[in-house]
A and B are shown apart, each in its own frame.
Chain A
Amino acid sequence: MHTWTQRLLSAATTAAFLLLAACAAASALDAFHAPSVQAQARVTKINRFHKQLNGNDKVMLTFNISANLESLFTWNTKQVFVFLTAEYENSKNSLNQASLWDHIIPDKQHANLHLEVKSKYPLIDQGSSLRGKKVQLVLHWHIMPKAGVMIRDRMPLSEFKLPDVYTS
């Protein structure tokens, strides 16, 4: 009736199709999940603010973050990658978006954050436009599933004005 290769082909196709269907179903369920995130972040200290030798402004910050990300977790969540960016516009760039801090949350038990942290990455400008600049702090999260579609979202938190003069 059927040759050996035809059987193999149909078995492989069915297996691949079922696997993809299971992933699609899991991701479709995620789409119905409406998380509610509460978060705050504010800059508590400017550790150092100066112009580098290459002419770019550089600032090291300390900030307070409190965020409850428990509602992001579902049965299909492997981890949540959470990070804080500084976003601003200047004469050269319509968007500057720099990560200041990031963190991997492995499970729901560790998803309620109250931290005071130093910026993991310094905020470095392309040029020297940071003096007196208003910077928007935005919390982002990237949900990585056990299998299926990855989800990204963001929440603008507070605005922060950098000082008018360098600290050193």
Chain B
Amino acid sequence: MQVRSVLAQIISLGMIVTSALIIWKGLIVVTGSESPVVVVLSGSMEPGFKRGDILFLHMNKDPIRTGEIVVFNVDGREIPIVHRVIKVHERQESTEVDILTKGDNNFGDDRLLYAHGQLWLQQHHIMGRAVGFLPYVGWVTIVMTEKPIIKYILIGALGLLVITSKE
């Protein structure tokens, strides 16, 4: 009987983990973006987006246009950036495109943030465009990444509750 209830606990814990994974992978498929939800980490898009807000991304074949808020990766930088497109040059003969971005709250454009000598973003730098917005929710992850001790306490407390809780 003891073994049985322990197994049941493990399974229900597994259910939580797998259903979270299903939702995340499902979102990736639906939105077409490898990271469908991002947390805003800086104030460079204030007052539109504040630190701790979350953005829902979408990626499709539609061309990028001026005014859209895109999430992009820069070579040599680990953390993607969420900024607004202020300039687009689209080639005549190919699908190649040059994109320039800027944070709403920044004084100048993003060329200083790009890799050394890089003047434009290309399509492959873009991870997605922001389509939806939800305030504050991202604080959970910011707190957990910046104060890992809280994460461990939380995981420990949850684990302890799972182990000790009885039917």
Contact = CB atoms under 8 A, between A and B. Distances in A.
A150 B135 contact: no
A83 to B, nearest CB: 6
Given A93-B92, A97-B65, A150-B131, A78 B86 contact: no
Contacts of B16: 5, 8-9
B88 interface: yes
B132 A3 contact: no
* Interface size grouping (class) on chain B: 35 or more
Given A144-B48, A150-B69, 7 more contacts: A3-B9, A5-B16, A85-B67, A93-B92, A95-B88, A150-B131, A150-B132
A9 to B, nearest CB: 5
Contacts of A79: 47-48
A81 B104 contact: yes
A142 B130 CA distance: 12
Contacts of B131: 149-150
A108 B68 CA distance: 22
A140 interface: yes
Interface string B65-105: 11111000000000000001011111110000010000010
A45 interface: no
A85 to B, nearest CB: 5
Interface of B: 8-9, 12-13, 15-16, 19, 47-48, 65-69, 84, 86-92, 98, 104, 109, 130-135, 161-162, 165, 167
A140 B90 CA distance: 19
A61 interface: no
A23 B132 contact: yes
Nearest to B48: A144
4 closest cross-chain pairs (CB), A and B: A4-B165, A99-B86, A95-B90, A5-B12
Interface of A: 1, 3-6, 8-9, 13, 19, 23, 27, 78-79, 81, 83, 85, 91-99, 102, 104, 106, 121, 126, 140, 142, 144-150, 152, 154
Contact of A104 (B19, B47, B68, B98): B47
Contacts of A94: 90-92
Contacts of B66: 83, 85, 97-99, 140
Contacts of B133: 144-145, 147-150
B130 A150 contact: yes
B52 to A, nearest CB: 13
A93 B47 contact: no
B89 A126 contact: yes
A104 B104 contact: yes
22 contacts: A1-B167, A3-B9, A3-B167, A4-B162, A5-B162, A6-B12, A81-B48, A85-B66, A91-B92, A92-B91, A93-B91, A94-B90, A94-B92, A98-B66, A98-B88, A104-B47, A104-B48, A140-B67, A148-B133, A149-B132, A152-B67, A154-B67
Nearest to B49: A144
Given A106-B47, A149-B131, A150-B130, A93 B90 contact: yes
